[in-house]
Amino acid sequence: MNADLRVLATLADVPDADLTDEHVRWEIYQRVLVQPEARRHLRAVLPTEPVPSLASSVVIELFNHIPPTDRAAWLEVLPASTRPFATQRLADLELLESHQDLEVFDPAPHTPWLQRQLAANSINPTLLTVLATTGTTRRIRALARVRLQDLTKH
């Protein structure tokens, strides 16, 4: 296995881990995401991660731990086959972070993940009403209705 992956295992306090097991690697990746000193090793390991969806999941999770200005560069470490999903999640995250108070929102072109995040976290009654009536899934509509009810109680 890759020397950088062994370094990540050590940083994750599991130096003798079975690195051939994708579940073990996921656990290692999760543990080191918050460690800035692990980032260069992640950057070296992820392009050769045998499970491309695992590499994509790591990068998506990493978005929550790095500055917004650094996120796009991490897309480049992914295999081309998994890059579109991570790219979409990055776009959703950027919209979520910059336009949480949207007065006009059409759920149709947006991912269920983004709609769920907005339904769960928005304090905008107009946005929640739109999601409660036109969200793309029952779960989104119900979540928005409950959130709207909670906001109107206070």
CA 28 to chain centre: 17
Query: The tokens of 5 are what?
Result: 């992956």
| Lowest mean per-residue pLDDT among 52-61, 68-77, 101-110, 141-150 | 101-110
The C-alpha atoms of residue 128 and residue 99 are separated, in whole angstroms, by 14
Rounded to 10 degrees, the C-alpha dihedral 115/121/123/127 comes to 0
State if pTM tops 0.75: yes
CA 143 to chain centre: 20
Domain boundaries, the chain: 1-98, 99-154
**For residue 126, is it left (φ>0), alpha (ψ between -120 and 50) or beta?**
alpha
Name which residue leads in pLDDT, 2 or 89.
89
Query: The tokens of 142 are what?
Result: 């119900």
Residue 147 host element (H or E): helix 138-153
pLDDT tens digit sequence for 45-100: 999 999 999 999 999 999 999 999 999 999 999 989 999 999 999 999 998 888 65
Query: The tokens of 133 are what?
Result: 């009536």
How many Å from the N-terminal Cα to the C-terminal Cα in the chain?
55
The C-alpha atoms of residue 114 and residue 122 are separated, in whole angstroms, by 11
Helix axes 125-134, 138-153, angle to 10 degrees: 150
